[in-house]
Amino acid sequence: MSEDLSVRGLVHDLNNVFQTIQDAADVLEEDERWSALAGTIHRSTEHGLRLLRSVIEATRGSFELRRIAEIAVQFARDFLRAGNGPDIAFRIQIEEGLRISSNAAAWERILVNLLLNAAQAMPRGGAVELTARRTDNGIEVTVADNGPGIPEQILPKLFDPHVSTKRGQRGAGLHGLGLHIVRTMVEADGGTVSARNRPEGGAEFVILNTDDQG
């Protein structure tokens, strides 16, 4: 019980921090020189607030995947722009009306991690495509890029903690938790995730969500 209250207290305090940042963004938005930056700050704090809520609201509900995908892509764009990241062309192709029964915030986090992993593996820029469709086995979600691909020696342990796909980038070996988080969250949802190098070049990550939407 005390641990639960501690988590809720942390969420409450961080919620106040995010609110202060949003208030500051409101002030920036009044100056046209900073309006674009203010929009980025607002979207980033809203993303953070959704993740915070997911800590104490591990609720499942049916949500439209395209909407979550659009939010994830926008966050990835903002993240890369704020950090002077590579120029990435993001494309979304999702079957019309496709819905998933799960935690929407968790799926937003899954997609953001996959999108950023792909983008950061292409420091000179490239393209990332997010697709989703219903198959006989469930809902298949794919994130594919046209980058350098994944070194063969890394593939077997790609989803282990502290393994990075970012070749030769400063700090690449210091974190390497994004894909481990993806696997943990996907498997907790009853799904599977796999990775491979595409014959035409680049890497491809495939999530199979077997939840039946009827």
Question: Each residue of 152-178: pLDDT tens digit?
Answer: 999 999 998 777 766 544 333 335 678
Count helices and strands (H / E) in the chain.
5, 7
Type of residue at 12: H
Q: What is the mean pLDDT of the chain?
A: 84
In DSSP terms, 145 is beta-bridged to 128
Question: Which of these ranges, 58-62, 105-109, 145-149, 191-195, has the smallest mean pLDDT?
Answer: 58-62
DSSP state of 165: -
As a whole number of angstroms, the distance between CA 87 and CA 14 comes to 31
Question: Which of these ranges, 5-19, 62-76, 180-194, has the smallest mean pLDDT?
Answer: 5-19
- 183 close to 158: Cβ distance less than 8 angstroms: no
Question: Each residue of 43-93: pLDDT tens digit?
Answer: 988 888 877 776 656 556 789 999 999 999 999 998 898 888 899 999 999
As a whole number of angstroms, the distance between CA 165 and CA 131 comes to 21
Residue 32 binned pLDDT confidence (cut-offs 50, 70, 90) = confident
Domain boundaries 61-209, CATH class: alpha beta
- 111 close to 139: Cβ distance less than 8 angstroms: no
Instruction: Provide the residue ranges of all domains of the chain, joining segments of one domain with +.
Output: 1-57, 61-209
